[in-house]
Structure formats: structure tokens, C-alpha cells
């Protein structure tokens, strides 16, 4: 069973000038993806973001879709689920999708939250995807919100664009 021993992260920022976020989901396991999407949407709406959703066949296609959409959105949320099977394909999909997303963030300066679940079984995926339990879709969206806030801070936000942080003060 999943353990929720770690504490919550920092409170996500909210934006007065709504960023545009693209959720890229791989619905290979439809029910799992739907829960991840639900959690991500709720977090983005709470942060004052507008968002769109596109779907791709699998986790390996998520980084390519994000790269293709670069420049059209302020941030991205990658959602999917990879459950270990009987072959080494699991390791390939997990490692390559994660590495590609990390490189997009580092090399392309793309603000994204990685919500691709990598689990041993369906029960683990269900707990992690459920917005009422571990809410990993919401967590990925919150990671994207934090990175968008940092991006605006370091590049200098547009006049009148304030980002409210957990302390209640403006970040920019």
C-alpha cells in the first residue's frame, strides 16, 4: 500500500494574470488518467490558470507533444501511468520519458510538472492518481505553477502581473 509519510510541499502560487497551461495526458489506463487530469485541473484552476488538454498514445509521446507546443503555453503538465509488466519495456518507458521531460525543463527552460506515475501494480496507481488520496495529478500541476512563478520572477514579470505566494506577499 502507498505511504503518505512525507509532508506537503509549499503552498502553490496564484496568478493575477492567468498563465496558459497545456495538460498532456497519455490515457493508456483511462480511469487512472481521468483521475490524474481531474487533480491537475483543480490545482490549475485554484492557481488562476487557464488550461487545455491534449491526449497522446503513451508516456513516450508526452515529451514530443510538449516540445511541439513550446512557445504556445506558459507551462505544461505531463500525466500518464506506467505499470511494471513482465519485460524490460517498463524501464525503457520510465527512464526515457522522465529523462526527456527533465531535459525539456533544463535545456528549453520549459516549466513543467511530471505526473507520469511509475508503479508496480494497478492498486498503487489508483491510490496515487486519486485526487482524494495522493493526488499526483494535482501535485504535478502545482510543480508547474511553482516553476512558472520562478520563471516570471527571474525574467521580470510584466507590469501589473503579481504572483501571490503562501505568505500572502507578492513574489513579483
Q: Over the chain, what is the mean pLDDT? A: 90
Which residues lie below 8 Å from residue 106, measured CB to CB, with a gap of 6+? none
Q: Side by side, which strands form the sheet with 20-25?
A: 50-55, 20-25, 75-83, 112-119
Q: Does residue 40 surpass a pLDDT of 50?
A: yes
The reply to whether 89 belongs to the active site is yes
Going from N- to C-terminal start, the domains of the chain cover 14-164
What CATH number labels 14-164?
3.40.50.960
pLDDT in tens, 42-58: 999 999 999 999 999 99
Which residues lie below 8 Å from residue 43, measured CB to CB, with a gap of 6+? 12, 137, 138, 139, 141, 142, 145
Q: Which residue has the higher pLDDT, 171 or 84?
A: 84
134: left (phi over 0), alpha (psi -120 to 50) or beta: alpha
B/e letters for 62-79, b = 16+ CB within 10 Å, e = fewer, are: bbebbeeeeeebbbbbbb
Give the per-residue pLDDT at 9: 74
Give the per-residue pLDDT at 160: 45
pTM: 0.89
Which residues lie below 8 Å from residue 3, measured CB to CB, with a gap of 6+? none
Residue entry with cell 488550461: 51
The span from the CA of 172 to the CA of 28, in Å, is 39
pLDDT in tens, 89-147: 999 999 999 999 999 999 999 999 999 999 999 999 999 999 999 999 999 999 999 99
pLDDT band at 14 (very low <50, low <70, confident <90, very high): confident
Q: Which entry of 6, 51, 72, 89 is annotated as an active-site residue?
A: 89
Q: Mean pLDDT over residues 65-71, rounded? A: 98
Give the per-residue pLDDT at 172: 43
pLDDT band at 159 (very low <50, low <70, confident <90, very high): very low
Amino acid at each position: 500500500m502507498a505511504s503518505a509519510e512525507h509532508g506537503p510541499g509549499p503552498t502553490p502560487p496564484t496568478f493575477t494574470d492567468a498563465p496558459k497551461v497545456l495538460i498532456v495526458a497519455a490515457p493508456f489506463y483511462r480511469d487512472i488518467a481521468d483521475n490524474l487530469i481531474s487533480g491537475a485541473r483543480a490545482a490549475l484552476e485554484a492557481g488562476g490558470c487557464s488550461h487545455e488538454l491534449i491526449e497522446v498514445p503513451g508516456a513516450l509521446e508526452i515529451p514530443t507533444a510538449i516540445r511541439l507546443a513550446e512557445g504556445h503555453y506558459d507551462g505544461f503538465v505531463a500525466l500518464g501511468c506506467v505499470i511494471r509488466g513482465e519485460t524490460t519495456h517498463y524501464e525503457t518507458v520510465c527512464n526515457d520519458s522522465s529523462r526527456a521531460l527533465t531535459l525539456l525543463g533544463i535545456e528549453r527552460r520549459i516549466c513543467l510538472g511530471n505526473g507520469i506515475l511509475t508503479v508496480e501494480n494497478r492498486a498503487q496507481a489508483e491510490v496515487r492518481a486519486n485526487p482524494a488520496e495522493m493526488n499526483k495529478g494535482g501535485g504535478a500541476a502545482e510543480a508547474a505553477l511553482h516553476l512558472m512563478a520562478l520563471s516570471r520572477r527571474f525574467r521580470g514579470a510584466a507590469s501589473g502581473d503579481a504572483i501571490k505566494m503562501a505568505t500572502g506577499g507578492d513574489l513579483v
